[in-house]
Structure 1
Amino acid sequence: MKRILTIISLSALLFTACSKDKDPINAVEGNGKTSLTFDARFGNQDFALNTDFTAEGKTFNFNKFRYWISNVVLVNTNGEEFKVPASYYLLEETGTISLSGVNNDLPTTVYPATKREEVVLKDLKAGDYKTLKFSVGVDPKYNDNLSLLSGELSPLNGMTNVSWMWLTSYIFTSATGKVTDGTNSKNLKIETGLNANYKTVVLDLPQPLKVSPTSTSGIVLNVDLAKALEGVDLMTTPVVGAAQASTMAAVAGNYSTKVFTVKAVN
C-alpha cells in the first residue's frame, strides 16, 4: 500500500507542483561560463558499470552510481563568493531500467541508460576564482518539500523508480551492486539522505580558474567511490540507509571530506 501511495503522490506532484523557484541568490547578468567535470573512479581505475574492482581483499561490481550536487559557490581571489543560482544537478551512471506498474495495473515505462559527468555553469561574473564549494545532497528547504522545484530538482528526474527515493525526501547518493570477499557475496545498496547528512565540500584550486567571455575554462574533479566506502564493513553491513543511521553518517562524511579532489583546472 505504501508503494501505491508513493506512486500516487509522485503523480500528483508532477501535475500540481508549483512553478520553479529560481532562487536568485547573487543572480548576475554574467559574461562567462565554466564547466565542472565529475570523473568517477574507483581507486586508481576509471569507474564503469558491470566492471570488477578490487580493494582491501574484496571485489566490487556496481550497476548504479548517482548523487546530487547542489548550491555551487565560486570564491574569487579577493575572497568574494559567487553563488550559482538554482544549482541543483543530478550526476549519475545507470543502465536501462524497465519499470512495471504495481501489480501490473500501470503501464511499463523505461528509464534509459544514462551517464552524466559534466555540469555547465553559465552567467558567471568574469574573474579569477580560487575555491570551489558545493554540497552533496539536497538542502532542507527542498528536501522537506518535494513540491518546490529548482534547477534539476524534481521527484521524477531520475526518480521514476519509486525505490530511488524515501517517500517524502530525496536520496542524496546511491551506489548499488555486489561485493564478494572470495567466500561470501553480498548485494550492495549504499545510500545517504536526511537533512543531517547534507554536507558541503570545499576545494581549493591548485591554480586560479579564469572565467571570461572570450575563453573557455573548466574544473575536472576526481570522484572516488572507493573513498565513500572507507571504514564500512560491507560484508556485515551491505545495506546502508536510514535504518543504519551511524553508518550512513560515516558514508556522508566520506563524501564531504574524501571522495572529491581536484584533478585539473583548465
Structure 2
Amino acid sequence: MNFNYIKSLVLILAISITACSSDDDNNSLSGENKLRVEFDNGVNGDDLLLGAATYTNTNGETLTINRFNYIVSNFVLIDAEGNEFTYPKDDSYFVISEENELTEVVLENIPAGKYVALKFGVGVDQEKYQQGAEGQGNFLQIAEDNEMMWSWQAGYKFLNFEGTFTSETVTEPTVFQIHMGSHGSSLDNYREVTLQLPTQALVSDNLSPVVHMAIDANQVLDGQHKIKLSEKAVIMIDEVKSPQISENVNGMFRVDHVHNGDNIQH
C-alpha cells in the first residue's frame, strides 16, 4: 500500500479524534458560574468623557455631556439550541451610570451552557412597577441615589441624558435634559433588546465569561429618529419624541466581544 496514502489516513483519523475530543469537552460543560456584562459607554466611536469633551452629531449640534445614566433589566440568556435562561426577576434590575462608575452587571448562578445571544430590557416594565414601592426591593433606593426617579408616582427615568449644546441657531451653551420613561399605560416606553454574541459565551464551573458591550450615546439623538435639541432642549413627557427616543436608545447597544475566562470560580 502507498506510504503516503497510509500517512493521510492516520492524519485524518488523528484530526477526527481531536475534533471528537473537543466536542466532548464542549458538551461536558457542567455546574454554574457568574456571567459579567460590561458597558463601555462611548459617543460615535469615541470615549465618553463627561464634561470634558465635545461631540458633534449630524444634526449640526455640538454637545458636552455631563450625565449618561440608564436602566437595564430582565436579562435572558439564549443558548445554541434556542433554550432560554431567564435571570430571576427580582434581581434583574440595574442602573448603568457613567458618572458613578456603575458600568458592570454581574449575573450570578448562571447554569452551564454555550450562550449565543443576550436579551434584556431598557427601563422598568409595567409588571414590576405595578408591584408598588414595597415590591421594588433595594432597586428603588439605587434608582433614587443615581437620579433615576422623578418620584414614585411619576415613575422611573429609564434614561437620564444631560449636558449643554450649541448649534447654528443656538450660539450660547444651553442646557439639555433628556429623561425617558413610562408614564402610565398610555405612554409605555419600556423596550427589549436582543443581541447576538460574536462568539459563544461559555459557562461552567471553571468558565466565567465577560460580555463586553459597546454603547453609543450618540444614538439617543442621532439614531433612527433625528431629535433636534434646537427645537426642544428639555424632553421628559412627550407623546411623539419620547417613544422615538426609546427606539433610538434600543439602537445604542452592541456586543463588541466576549471573553471566556478560564478557571474563574463562582
With normalisation by structure 2, the TM-score equals 0.76
1:157 equivalent to 2:157? Answer no
| Corresponding residue SS for 1:79 | coil
Percent identity over the alignment is: 29
> How many angstroms apart in 2 are the aligned matches of 1:161 and 1:226?
21
Equivalent position of 2:67 in the other structure: 64
Equivalent position of 1:191 in the other structure: 179
Q: CA deviation at 1:183?
A: 5.0
1:31-86 superposed Cα distances (whole Å, 9 cap, x missing partner): 11111001101111111210222222321111111111100000011111001112
Q: How many residues align?
A: 215
Matching residue's letter, 1:262: V
Equivalent position of 2:11 in the other structure: none
| Corresponding residue SS for 1:78 | coil
Matching residue's letter, 1:208: Q
> How many angstroms apart in 2 are the aligned matches of 1:45 and 1:210?
30
Equivalent position of 1:264 in the other structure: 257
CA contact (8 A) 1:33 1:213 kept: no
Alignment of 1:27-42 (within 5 A): 31-42=32-43
| Corresponding residue SS for 2:119 | strand
Among 76, 90, 94, the residue aligned to 1:89: 94
> How many angstroms apart in 1 are the aligned matches of 2:139 and 2:147?
15
1:224 equivalent to 2:202? Answer no
Equivalent position of 2:25 in the other structure: none
Q: CA deviation at 1:164?
A: 3.9
1:159-193 superposed Cα distances (whole Å, 9 cap, x missing partner): 14878424421111110111111551321101110
Equivalent position of 2:57 in the other structure: 55
> How many angstroms apart in 2 are the aligned matches of 1:216 and 1:232?
40
Q: CA deviation at 1:141?
A: 2.1
CA contact (8 A) 2:143 2:156 kept: no
| Corresponding residue SS for 1:204 | strand
Q: Which runs of 5+ in 2 are unaligned?
A: 1-30, 260-266
1:78-119 superposed Cα distances (whole Å, 9 cap, x missing partner): 11100111211111123xxxxxxxxxxxxxxxxxxx111111
With normalisation by structure 1, the TM-score equals 0.76
Change (3 A) 1:228 1:162: closer
> How many angstroms apart in 1 are the aligned matches of 2:158 and 2:49?
20
> How many angstroms apart in 2 are the aligned matches of 1:160 and 1:264?
31
CA RMSD of aligned residues (A): 2.0
CA contact (8 A) 2:77 2:119 kept: yes
Q: CA deviation at 1:146?
A: 2.3
CA contact (8 A) 1:186 1:235 kept: no
Alignment of 1:176-215 (within 5 A): 176-181=162-167, 184=170, 185-194=173-182, 196-215=188-207
| Corresponding residue SS for 1:116 | coil
1:181-228 superposed Cα distances (whole Å, 9 cap, x missing partner): 155132110111015100000001111111111123111111111011
1:76 equivalent to 2:79? Answer yes
The structure number with the bigger radius of gyration is: 2
Change (3 A) 1:164 1:179: farther
Matching residue's letter, 2:81: N
Matching residue's letter, 1:206: P
Alignment of 1:99-248 (within 5 A): 114-144=100-130, 145-150=132-137, 152-154=138-140, 156-160=141-145, 164-168=149-153, 169-181=155-167, 184=170, 185-194=173-182, 196-230=188-222, 231-242=226-237, 244-248=238-242
| Corresponding residue SS for 1:234 | coil
